[in-house]
Structure formats: structure tokens, C-alpha cells
């Protein structure tokens, strides 16, 4: 068994069973990758992949077990590299984070500026997607961290850390009936067409749940994944906007009236996700603490070292996270 075969195995799964794409990632040929996988299966005397002719269609049950162990092997190899780099004289590298538009546009900029000033020799890259895509990227080892508020429960190989809690604002034009400043009830809100996030984005579940608890059906006029688009639609008088509180800028959005509706909806928690078993470099701990000062290196290290969810919960439950 060769390390390269393990890399090819994990690479094929990461690239959605596309052998050609995997070969491109490793700068080799498709037949070469296929041959190495076949040799690995012959050595282990099992079929790792299900096939339809030459096409890979999925993993066999034993293939799933092998993949899990293969991923752990690659994590350990990468950890060895990280430890070696940590002790080299020149602290350099790259930090890659997957996140949503709301985080990238409204929350992360200040942290990124501080971080890049602190670590000038560290490259920084943002990958944007919906919450599921962000957590999937870190789950597959494609990025170092993911930051989002939804879908983290879908991935058992991640540990998540609470960064901050947030709620929602209602946005209306200045001549709208709701712009008087009086408190808004969920019943009132149900009477207007709403412009808000798509399902799976930025606390949409809590919004749906609030209307369901009240026995009401929200009148969703338009949805978007981008708060800037939602605000643009509100300005065009297409409906009442419901956005994350962190996505409101009093200066940029001065032509809209914001109404606090925290009492109508449950809080959401933005979290940073890290893949279990990875070794973090010093600058990665720095980024986490810059973004969430309550997540010190000691807390992150202790949490990553805890194997059980109960121990992780015990540490997280004691944290005092900010609310925005």
C-alpha cells in the first residue's frame, strides 16, 4: 500500500467520484489513477468502489470504512508537515476559509485586515458558498475553517466553536406603514410580502419556525442568498425585508428604516468549524482569537483534544459569547 494510492482514494471521493478531475488535481493521467486504485483493491482483496462498467458510482460498505481511515492517515501526514513548518525559522503559509456572503461582506473584513497585518507572510483566501457547501469544504479538507450559522450538524467529522449570536432586523422604506417605530407582532408581519433569505441560508429555519409556532404562513415574495440583494428589493418596494442584524449598516442603508424584531425569532449562533484530528498552526489560532476573542488558543486546543461530544459541550457551555 502506497501513500499516493491513499491520496488518490480520498481525492476521488472529494471530487465526486470524478477520476479525470482527480487526475488533473494530482497532475497525472486518468489511467494512472485508475490503475493505482485497482492495485489497492487487489492488495486489500476488496472492492472499495461500486461500479457501473468503468464508471464509479459510489463506495461499498467496506469502502466507506477504508475511506474514513485513509482520511485519518492523510490528516496525520498533514499534521507532521504542519509541525515541521511550525518549527522552521520562517513562519509562512496559507489560511483558507469557506464562508457565506453575510460573513464575508459584513463580519470578517475587520478580522482579515488585522490578521493580514499581523501575518504578512501568510496568504489568505476566502471561498464563498451556502452554509452546507462551506461545511462540506472543511469536512473534505479543502479549506482550513468554515464559518456559518446553518448545516453544521450534517458533518460528524467536524468540531464547531460558537463565535457570536445574532438575530434579525426588519427593513422597510421610510413611507411604509411599519416605519412608525412601534413594536411589530408576528401577525402584523404575516400580512406583508416578505423579502428574505433562501432556505438553508442565514437563519431561515428560525424564521419559518416562528411563523409555524404562531400558526401562520409567511408571505414570502422573494428570496436571495445575499443581504445586499434583499435590501435592493426592499428599496424597489417589492416587500418587507428580513435580514441578519449583522448585515445592516446605518450609513449605507440610511434610506431604509430598521426595526428590531429579536423578540419574534430565536437567536442564531455563528460558528467556526474545524475538522477533527487536524493540527493547527500558530497563525490559525491567532485568526480564531481575532475573530472570537473568547476562543483562546488554550480553549481551542483543549476542545480539539476531547474525543467525546459530552466533553466538548462541557467546554462550550461555559463560554460567554457576544450578541450582535
Residue 242 has which C-alpha cell?
428580513
> Which pLDDT belongs to residue 88?
60
CATH no. of 91-165+270-316? 3.40.190.10
Dist. CA 59–CA 299, nearest whole Å = 37
Topology at the third CATH level for domain 168-264: D-Maltodextrin-Binding Protein; domain 2 (3.40.190)
Question: pLDDT, tens digit, for every residue of 71-97?
Answer: 888 887 877 776 676 556 456 788 999
**Residue 91, pLDDT score:** 64
Predicted pLDDT of residue 230: 95
Give the separation between CA 245 and CA 206, rounded to whole angstroms: 14
What residue ranges do the domains of the chain occupy? 3-85, 91-165+270-316, 168-264
Select the more confidently predicted residue: 215 or 53: 215
Segment 126-180, tens digit of pLDDT: 999 989 999 999 998 899 999 998 766 778 889 899 999 999 999 999 999 999 8
Task: Give the number of other Cβ atoms within 10 Å of residue 265's Cβ.
Answer: 17
What is the length of the chain?
A: 324
Residue 227: which region, alpha, beta or left (left: phi > 0; alpha: psi -120 to 50)? alpha
CATH architecture of 3-85: Orthogonal Bundle (1.10)
Q: Do domains 3-85 and 91-165+270-316 have the same CATH topology?
A: no
Half-sphere exposure of 259 (CA within 13 A, CB side): 23
Amino acid at each position: 500500500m502506497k501513500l499516493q494510492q491513499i491520496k488518490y482514494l480520498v481525492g476521488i471521493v472529494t471530487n465526486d467520484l470524478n477520476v479525470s478531475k482527480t487526475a488533473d488535481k494530482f497532475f497525472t493521467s486518468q489511467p494512472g489513477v485508475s490503475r493505482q486504485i485497482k492495485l489497492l483493491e487487489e492488495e486489500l482483496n476488496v472492492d472499495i468502489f461500486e461500479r457501473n462498467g468503468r464508471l464509479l458510482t459510489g463506495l461499498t460498505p467496506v469502502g466507506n470504512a477504508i475511506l474514513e481511515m485513509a482520511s485519518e492517515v492523510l490528516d496525520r501526514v498533514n499534521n507532521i508537515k504542519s509541525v515541521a513548518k511550525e518549527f522552521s525559522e520562517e513562519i509562512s503559509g496559507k489560511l483558507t476559509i469557506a464562508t457565506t456572503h453575510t460573513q464575508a461582506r459584513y463580519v470578517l473584513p475587520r478580522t482579515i485586515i488585522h490578521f493580514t497585518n499581523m501575518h504578512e507572510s501568510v496568504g489568505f483566501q476566502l471561498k464563498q458558498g451556502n452554509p452546507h457547501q462551506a461545511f462540506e469544504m472543511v469536512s473534505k479538507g479543502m479549506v482550513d475553517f468554515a464559518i456559518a450559522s446553518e448545516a453544521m450538524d450534517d458533518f460528524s467529522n467536524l468540531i464547531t466553536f460558537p463565535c457570536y449570536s445574532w438575530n434579525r432586523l426588519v427593513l422597510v422604506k421610510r413611507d411604509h406603514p411599519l416605519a412608525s417605530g412601534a413594536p411589530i407582532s408576528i401577525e402584523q408581519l404575516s400580512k406583508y410580502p416578505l423579502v428574505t433569505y433562501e432556505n438553508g441560508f442565514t437563519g431561515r429555519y428560525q424564521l419559518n419556525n416562528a411563523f409555524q409556532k404562531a400558526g401562520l404562513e409567511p408571505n414570502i415574495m422573494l428570496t436571495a442568498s445575499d443581504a445586499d440583494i434583499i435590501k435592493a428589493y426592499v428599496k424597489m418596494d417589492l416587500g418587507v425585508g428580513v435580514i441578519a442584524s449583522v448585515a445592516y449598516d446605518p450609513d449605507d442603508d440610511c434610506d431604509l428604516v430598521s426595526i428590531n424584531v429579536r423578540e419574534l425569532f430565536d437567536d442564531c449562533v455563528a460558528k467556526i468549524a474545524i475538522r477533527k484530528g487536524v493540527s493547527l498552526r500558530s497563525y490559525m489560532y491567532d485568526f480564531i482569537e481575532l475573530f472570537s476573542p473568547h476562543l483562546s488558543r488554550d480553549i481551542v486546543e483543549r476542545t480539539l483534544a476531547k474525543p467525546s461530544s459530552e466533553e466538548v459541550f462541557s467546554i462550550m457551555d461555559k463560554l460567554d459569547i457576544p450578541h450582535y
